[in-house]
Amino acid sequence: MRSSLATLLLLLAAGRALADDVRGRVHDAKGQPIAGATVLSGAVEGAVTDAEGRFVLSGARAGATSAASVMVVADGYEAATVTAGSDDVDIVLDESSAAAGEVVEISGKAPAQAEPTSYEMTGDEVRAIPGAANDALRALQSLPGVARVPFNFGGLVLRGQSPRDTRVYLDGIDVPLAFHFGGVTSFYPSAMLDTIELTPGGFGAEYGRGQGGIVTLTTKDAHRDHWRAAGDVNLVDSAARADGPAGGGGLSIAVRRSYIDAILAGVLAPEDRVLPRYYDGQIRWSTGDERGRGALTALGFFSFDQVKTIDATANMGFARAALQYARRWGDTRLVLTPWLGRDVVSFEGQDGENPSAEANTAVYRRASLPFGARASLTHDVGWGALAGGLDLRGGRFGSTTVSVDGVAAPVNSSTADWSSDLGFWTEGRLNAGGRLTIRPGVRLEHYGDTGEWVLDPRLGTSLKLTDRVTLRQALGAYHQPPTHADLDPDVGNPALRSSWAMHASVGADVDLPQAIHASITGYAISSRDLPVAVARPDEMEPPARSEGGLGPIFQELFDAQLGSFQYRANAGRGRSMGVELSLKRHVGRWFAWLSYTYARAERTDDPQRFTGWRPYELDQTHNANGGASTTVGKWTLGARVRFATGNPYTPSIGMTVDELGNQVSIPGEPLSANLPPFFALDVRADRHWHRGWGDMDLFLDVQNATNYRSPEGLEAITDGKPEYTRGLPILPIIGVSYTPPK
């Protein structure tokens, strides 16, 4: 009896203790758990939230019917105080203005240690930008120095340089095709990104083989406590991803497939069908610690595009696999990244008048096996730092096969060849007096295809005038070798050599009152030995001069991915200059930014046939982006306004009759007219649900919400009035993401 009574008393005491506990979950405004937050209440012992943001305060309430005052503190968030009863309490922390100023860099943050102007975004920020539709590289078009591409295509035109001049790196690996189908969406999902950084020009000696800007993507480390899974579905594609502990480290996997082809196949007649399809996938495993025996990361990613019509199929894809080892010994850090890959481009077509026939079928296929390695060694010293490394890229390139009706055509086929480019670089950082930092560097490269040695000196400085004002400067030379397609003897010019550019920029970063960060940068770029179309030695008819319009613009985009398939010579020049301005304010639930670029970009063509400068096909004098977003309860609402000067084109100054009696227009000064300006309003709404069955996020991203059809190209001139090819209409994109419970 005593034993039963004692047991009953213990159970009652335990039940009362449980009833007196305070339990709950701490998360941010988007529903993401906040781990490591400190939870306090009165004199009881505090608690720390776990990986899911959950906590238990034992004995915080005086009884089952009483309430307790609970305060929560977490780094990077505003402290919050709530009243907790018997039910689980849900505590939302707002991001502090100070933390926001350190994390969000959409409009540019003062670069440290004499780095050039760069702009950084996290994966979460990418998914919050209205009009970007969760696409990482498309979100970069909100930044200064980035020109707009027609129809929202995603090519990166930085400071008036061609898209082919921009280099994209994922964890140090050169990415050959950053966009599906030239710009529909980027190859890498934003959910796996840690950060994405854009440097529009003037970067340091560590990177080479490009005379424009660079984009560096850094992937997230996988969680190592337990497995998580999520899936995304929208009107364009679907994706699934998972990450968790594996093999003593963390493993993350993601796959994505589009179904645009299935949708179009159901609404278009067979003869009108253009059916695009893409896949991509990523895998990453990491383990270790840089300050222990070293950190090891293995990663792989692939991208594949296919376009089908009634009589043709085109395929384009690549794959990469890499290992990365990083280790620190005191003030010294070593990073090694070897990688290998495969690139494939193929085309199969039939006679369009008789698509069912097996005859007249031609197959073109080009395959490459690239490989590379990057190594860097950095040592910090009292007066600054010393760094150096090597950059190797080579492989078996240009293996092309052509067959007609299954029979090889050796006359038009080219054999594969092995080649490699090797770069050595070194850089120093000198801190003088705590306010002035000087970063001299030099890069020496050898291009295997052309046999050239090139030397690129570079210099960066920063001067901290006050605690709020920092001046910075960058100056340097940048060489870029021709692609293998450029050197193809069948369609290109084997005598082509590298082009190069001089970059100069000067700017200031200012922290203004009311938590406003401002950045202004002026730049100038002079390019030499640019490849331009010229007459082949065995042809009488030379290529026409570019007159602007959608054709040459799309050629610029696909040139970066497939090569020009033109005979070109190093006879062109380029020059661009401009001013970039950015403003940012992030306080509490509100975030707002404004970016503006004033720019001019010009080119010259074949000097044997044309004289003088002309505007670049994607020259845009004014380009402005402004946006704001706020969190209201479980909702995040945002809007963005975009404005850009119309692209140049060659106007018609009259009509004449050709030798066949047909009326043809008389072209005026090349690219001397501009299309009307582009304008678009994009809006976005996100909603988060956290339930026992998991977490769900729903977003509605509406591009061109006002349905304003901006002119994208000149179609014709009728009765003296221009008729334009109009841009995309209002485009709503709905997506949902689901994460199952732990």
DSSP 209: S
pLDDT tens track for 380-437: 988 889 999 999 999 887 655 555 555 555 434 445 578 899 999 999 999 887 789 9
Rounded CA separation 37/55 (Å):
9
Q: What is the pLDDT of residue 416?
A: 57
Percent of the chain having pLDDT more than 70? 86
323-345: average pLDDT: 93
Could you say which of 2.30.33.40, 2.60.40.1940, 1.20.120.530, 2.40.170.20 is the CATH number of the domain covering 219-739? 2.40.170.20
Looking at the predicted structure, is the pLDDT value of residue 13 above 50?
no
pLDDT of the residue at 44 = 64
CB atoms near residue 268 (< 10 Å)? 12
Q: What is the pLDDT of residue 137?
A: 74
Q: Work out the average pLDDT over 712-720.
A: 75
What integer is the mean pLDDT of 296-308? Answer: 92
Report pLDDT for 549.
78
Of the two residues 311 and 424, the one the predictor is more confident about is 424
Q: What mean pLDDT do residues 589-596 have?
A: 86
The per-residue pLDDT for 486 is 82
CB 3 within 8 A of CB 11: no
57-61, 473-477, 609-613: least confidently modelled range: 57-61
Tens digits of residue pLDDT in 114-173: 678 788 877 777 877 888 888 887 788 888 999 988 887 767 899 999 988 999 999 989
Closest CA to 523 of 40, 98, 145: 145
Residue 10, pLDDT above cutoff 50: no
pLDDT category at 7 given cuts 50, 70, 90 is very low
Whether the pLDDT of residue 379 is over 90: the answer is yes
State the pLDDT at residue 719: 66
pLDDT score, position 654: 74
| CB-based contacts of 627, cutoff 8 Å, min separation 6 | 129, 130, 142, 592, 593, 638, 639, 640, 641
Which helix (H) or strand (E) is 268 found in, with range? none
Residue 86 pLDDT > 80: no
pLDDT digits (tens, 9 = 90+) for 479-511: 999 987 788 777 788 899 999 999 999 999 898
Strands 38-40 and 635-644 turn out to be unpaired
pLDDT surpassing 50 at residue 604: yes
234-240 contact pairs (CB < 8 A, 24+): 234/133, 234/134, 234/733, 234/734, 234/735, 234/736, 235/733, 235/734, 235/735, 236/133, 236/184, 236/185, 236/260, 236/733, 237/185, 237/278, 239/189, 239/191
Sign of the dihedral through C-alpha 407, 413, 419, 421:
negative
Contacts of 391 (CB under 8 A, 6+ apart): 206, 207, 208, 372, 373, 374, 422, 423, 424, 425
Give me the chain's average pLDDT, please: 82
* Residue 15 scores a pLDDT above 60: no
pLDDT of 463 higher than 50: yes
Mean pLDDT of 633-659: 86
How high is the pLDDT of residue 107? 38
- In tens, the pLDDT along 660-692 reads 777 777 778 888 889 999 999 999 999 988 888
Confidence of residue 356 (pLDDT cuts 50, 70, 90): very low
Question: What mean pLDDT comes out for the span 162-187?
Answer: 84
Say yes or no to pLDDT of 458 above 80.
Answer: yes
| Cα angle: 109, vertex 114, 118; to 5 degrees | 35
Residues belonging to the chain:
742
Q: Which of 177-191, 246-260, 293-307 has the lowest mean pLDDT?
A: 177-191
Q: Which sequence spans correspond to the domains of the chain?
A: 2-96, 104-218, 219-739
pLDDT for 517 equals: 86
pLDDT reading at 446 higher than 90: yes
Residue 2 pLDDT grade (very low, low, confident, very high; cuts 50, 70, 90) = very low
Please give the structure tokens belonging to residue 171: 């964890």
214-219 and 167-170 beta bridge pairing: parallel
The CA-atom distances, in angstroms, between 231 and each of 86, 189, 237, 239 are 34, 12, 11, 6
Q: How many CB atoms lie within 10 A of CB 224?
A: 16
CB–CB of 406/385 below 8 Å? no
* pLDDT given for residue 292 in this prediction: 81
Please, are residues 252 and 202 in contact by the beta-carbon 8 Å criterion?
A: no
The secondary structure of 419-436 as a DSSP string is EEEEEEEEEEEEEETTTE
Copy the structure tokens of residue 2: 């005593």
pLDDT over 70 (residue 16): no
The CATH superfamily label for domain 2-96 reads Carboxypeptidase-like, regulatory domain (2.60.40.1120)
- CATH node for 104-218: 2.170.130.10
pTM across the whole model: 0.80
Q: Return the ∠ at Cα 698 (arms to 692 and 700), rounded to 5°.
A: 170
Counting residues of the chain whose pLDDT is more than 90, the rounded percentage is 35
Residue whose structure tokens are 């293996």: 399
Q: What SS3 state is found at 211?
A: coil
**Contact between 116 and 203 (Cβ < 8 Å):** yes
